[in-house]
Chains A and B, each alone.
Chain A
Amino acid sequence: MECRKENKDGVIVLVVDGAIDHETAAAFEQAVMPSLDEAEAAGTGLVFDMSGVDYMSSVGLRVLMLAAKAAKQKSISVVVAGLQATLAEIFQISRFDKIFTIYDTADAAVAGVRG
């Protein structure tokens, strides 16, 4: 798994590639939490661009759950973009589609966060 951070029109975009599993979930969490702080400082929000993620187990979902709760405390918006079919199904099973607004693309997500 690889994570890289981008700033698009003031919105923090975390672009994630690969599998989020027991081997990579800790690194994913270490990338997510500072990104939430940056989004809070920027007064905007955070977009997870998941278009390159082909696998996620419950350890990855746990990190997203923590992110959603932290974002609520910080009063910032956190959204998800570009879910592949398998991941969209995992989100649906876990009801994460009720927690996160999901966009087809990162650009659409950035526009959505900017309102």
Chain B
Amino acid sequence: MSLGKLSLMGTDDKVVIPENLRLPFNRASLSEIRVALNRLQARLGFSDGCGLALRLVLEELVTNSIMHGWGKGAHDDPETGIHVDFHIDDGVLHFRYVDHGSPFDPRSDLPSDSRDEHLDDRPDGQLGWPLILHYCDLLHYAREEGQNRMHLRLREKVLNRD
């Protein structure tokens, strides 16, 4: 095991974590994430700082899915909502994020980065994805079977924080 990485059951091999979220497209899902992350933190023993970063990433992803991916108000069927599955690979936390919303490829569909614009020219929002990509690497995106499928990896610097 490498210092600063996660360990589970004494192995560095790929480990699937039995924390599979099935969430509907509604705001109650955001609260469910917080509860699930508390369970995950208790199981994996990562730091509070790491937990806050992971919470931020998942809340931003789910918020985007709810606000932009569905676009027709609340939708209460978790099976056609948002799915999140976690695993550890070489001591690093990965997760697969799937939603059944409108197509959105973050590699090409993000608005231009306006963070360095003058205050008057900055939009009020569009701050979620810069936060997500600060804490995670987006390893893969595909639009398959009516789903946005993403594979993300929490950056090691996040695992190392207090």
A interface residues, Cβ below 8 angstroms from B: 21-23, 54-55, 57-59, 61-62, 65-66, 68-69, 72, 85-86, 90, 93-95, 98-99
Select which of A22, A55, A93 is within 8 A of B134 by beta carbon.
A93
**Once the chains bind, are A99 and B119 in contact (CB under 8 Å)?**
yes
Q: Chain B interface secondary structure, helix, strand, loop or mixed?
A: helix
At the interface with chain A, which of B56-64, B83-91, B104-112?
B56-64
Please provide the 4 A-B residue pairs with the shortest distance between their CB atoms, ordered closest to farther: A58-B127, A95-B115, A58-B128, A93-B134
* Cα separation A94 to B123 with both chains bound (whole Å): 12
Residues of chain A contacted by B27 (CB below 8 angstroms) = 22
Select which of A55, A58, A65, A69 is within 8 A of B55 by beta carbon.
A55
* Cα separation A23 to B63 with both chains bound (whole Å): 12
**Once the chains bind, are B131 and A65 in contact (CB under 8 Å)?**
no
Residues of chain A contacted by B128 (CB below 8 angstroms) = 57-58
Residues of chain B at interface, number, CB under 8 A: 23
**Once the chains bind, are B60 and A58 in contact (CB under 8 Å)?**
yes
Interface centre among A57, A90, A99 (most CB of B within 10 A): A57
**Once the chains bind, are B52 and A58 in contact (CB under 8 Å)?**
no
* Cα separation A35 to B53 with both chains bound (whole Å): 30
* Cα separation A85 to B60 with both chains bound (whole Å): 20
B4 adjacent to chain A (CB < 8 Å): no
**Once the chains bind, are A86 and B52 in contact (CB under 8 Å)?**
yes
* Cα separation A69 to B125 with both chains bound (whole Å): 13
Q: Scan residues 1-47 of chain B and give those whose CB is less than 8 A from a CB of chain A.
A: 27, 30-31
Select which of B30, B52, B115, B120 is within 8 A of A55 by beta carbon.
B52
B130 adjacent to chain A (CB < 8 Å): yes
Select which of A23, A54, A72, A90 is within 8 A of B119 by beta carbon.
A72
Knowing A23-B31, A65-B124, A86-B49 are in contact, say whether A94-B59 is a contact too (CB < 8 A).
Answer: no
Knowing A68-B119, A86-B52 are in contact, say whether A22-B63 is a contact too (CB < 8 A).
Answer: yes
Residues of chain A contacted by B122 (CB below 8 angstroms) = 65
